[in-house]
Chains A and B, each alone.
Chain A
Amino acid sequence: MGMTMSQKILAAHAGLAEVRAGQLIEASLDLVLGNDITTPVAIRVMEGFKSDRVFDRDKIALVMDHFIPNKDIKSAENCKCCRDFAASHEITNYFDVGKMGIEHALLPEAGLTVAGDLIIGADSHTCTYGALGAFSTGVGSTDMAAGMATGKAWFKVPEAIRFNIVGKKQKYVSGKDLILHIIGMIGVDGALYRSMEFTGEGLKELNIDDRLTIANMAIEAGGKNGIFPVDDMTVEYMKAHGNRPYKVYEADEDAEYAGEYTIDLSTLRPTVSYPHLPSNTRTIDESVRDNIRIDQAVIGSCTNGRISDLRAAAEIMKGHYVADGVRCIVIPGTQQIYLQALEEGLIKTFVEAGAVVSTPTCGPCLGGYMGILAAGERCISTTNRNFVGRMGHVDSEVYLASPAVAASSAVKGYIADPMEVA
């Protein structure tokens, strides 16, 4: 019996010719990631180890992105804890204000995540790097600490669900709409403990930014990882963003899947997740009928803060103005994306439209700062979670959508179809 793409990467890193679903393995890691929320907890866990050495200072990435530039004294102390640790252990890939970006936008851009890698990160959206053909998954701080100390982690080999993507997408349909559609179809635990493997001729319709968005939200279906095959687009992206050697793994033809779905992109509509679960999806046509007034629009995050996302939002907003009573917050994912957006005139478009543009930060996505909601307020957001209280007060509401839908909604003042504005 053959192996899935995820199983092949796990087997190779465990030094085994073959692994089976359900098997417990110990595997060597190519990268261990943490941020300013999870790393301080991991550093305290490491104090319990007999040795405080790290396994490889080049294979650890610490990204200050959640509460920086620091929002208060406690977050400043957490960042200082990470900064001191990075300095004393001479961590190569430490990213602070001025160099940082939102971790899952930053690391692929910096060439630190490539095809064939095995990556863990103390952040649930670590599954993003599957877009490039890596096996990457989120863990907690204790696993991160163990990974930093030993370069290894234990895994239970997952089964996989295969998503066969076919057809061509309509205008204003993006990777975000596809992944929201899938989560709506299978539920927030539809891929629990499993890999989500994407295949099919329709993948050529999805650029790397789309794929990063899709893999990023695998966790919102309960998935252990999301993964894409490596094609010309992937190779071109990796070559443009670094020189680390990569390795291409392919699923065996006789690999077994726990489930299979075929999705025709041509049937997809822009999709919106209503409060309070990402699986609570509607098409934009239903949302328009529901006439949902908004108070805020957030465009950014590790899900949708990349250059394609900003281009999509700017294309809609150009020549328009954010509706009265709406606050529109745009957050480029990294310094590089910020600069590129400046050069392309996108930042000018946003500011002229009455939006604010922030330095990269996770900020509002998790209700940290930079756009917290009051009781009764409603936000359309390109982020990844709409749980109770996620962006502020427990009586506030978050609707998840693509950058094009968030931008058109900001202009209209209610959840709007991009076709209404463009």
Chain B
Amino acid sequence: MEAKGRVFKYGDNVDTDVIIPARYLAIQDKKELARHCMEDIDTEFVKKVSAGDIMVAGRNFGCGSSREHAPIVIKEAGVSCVIAETFARIFFRNAINIGLPIIECREASQGISAEDEVRIDFDSGIIEDLTTGRSYQGTPFPAFMQEIINSGGLVNYINKEGNK
């Protein structure tokens, strides 16, 4: 499995309040929610994003509130992968559980620029910046998490486990 797309670049400590502000949390329709993705730090994001695009951020991406709406709107907006130096732990769990691919890679987080074209191979964890020609090695998931991701998220994983 791989992802390929254009990069939206953000800094450190992007919190879930700016990914999806609380004033929209009563909305249950995912498409309607996704119209407000990143609204409080990047009003251009929803206008410019297209399916397959990639987010690259710094440290502690997704910190703050545990709202699962955050990875949901990023996925719903069409983002195929988030690369960050580190992720806040609840966001990390939520992304895996809902099937939003994420990769930790300090060098890629620092080396990749906005608008670059990037390709990610999830099996090997290799991140290629097609614009600059540089490539990076991301941290692959532990086997247990890979199993959840391969099942298509925690729901399918639990349904499968129930069959054992």
A residues near B (Cβ < 8 Å) are 24, 37-38, 40-41, 44-45, 48-51, 66-67, 71-72, 74-75, 77-78, 122-124, 126, 138-143, 145-146, 149-150, 154, 188-189, 192-193, 219, 222, 224, 277, 366-368, 385, 387-390, 394
Cβ–Cβ < 8 Å partners of B86 in chain A: 189, 192
B49-93 vs A, CB cutoff 8 Å, 1 = contact: the mask equals: 000000000011001111111010000000000000010111001
Q: What 9 pairs across the A-B complex have the smallest Cβ distances?
A: A74-B26, A140-B94, A140-B68, A142-B97, A189-B60, A124-B66, A366-B22, A389-B40, A48-B155
Cβ–Cβ < 8 Å partners of A77 in chain B: 26, 28
A222 and B60 contact, Cβ closer than 8 Å, known pairs A74-B28, A139-B90, A140-B97: yes
Cβ contact within 8 Å between A222 and B63: yes
Cβ–Cβ < 8 Å partners of A138 in chain B: 66, 90
Total cross-chain contacts (CB, 8 A): 132
Q: What class of interface size applies to chain B in its complex with A?
A: 35 or more
Q: List 29 A-B contacts (CB under 8 A).
A: A41-B68, A44-B28, A48-B156, A50-B162, A67-B26, A72-B26, A78-B26, A122-B68, A124-B65, A124-B66, A138-B66, A138-B90, A139-B90, A139-B93, A140-B66, A140-B71, A140-B94, A140-B97, A142-B97, A142-B155, A189-B60, A189-B88, A192-B86, A192-B88, A222-B63, A222-B88, A367-B17, A387-B17, A388-B40
Cβ contact within 8 Å between A394 and B40: yes
In the bound complex, how far is the Cα of B111 from the Cα of A88, in angstroms? Answer: 53
In the bound complex, how far is the Cα of B23 from the Cα of A146, in angstroms? Answer: 27
B32-57 vs A, CB cutoff 8 Å, 1 = contact: the mask equals: 00000000110000000000000000
Cβ–Cβ < 8 Å partners of A40 in chain B: 28
Cβ contact within 8 Å between B66 and A367: no
Known A124-B90, A140-B66; further 13 A-B contacts with Cβ < 8 A: A40-B28, A50-B162, A140-B71, A140-B94, A142-B97, A143-B97, A146-B158, A189-B60, A192-B89, A222-B89, A385-B65, A387-B15, A388-B18
Residue among B22, B66, B86 facing the most chain A CB atoms (10 A cut-off) = B66
B residues near A (Cβ < 8 Å) are 13, 15, 17-18, 21-23, 25-28, 40-41, 59-60, 63-69, 71, 86, 88-90, 93-94, 97-98, 142, 144, 153-156, 158-159, 162
Cβ contact within 8 Å between B64 and A385: yes
In the bound complex, how far is the Cα of B163 from the Cα of A50, in angstroms? Answer: 10
Cβ–Cβ < 8 Å partners of A75 in chain B: 26
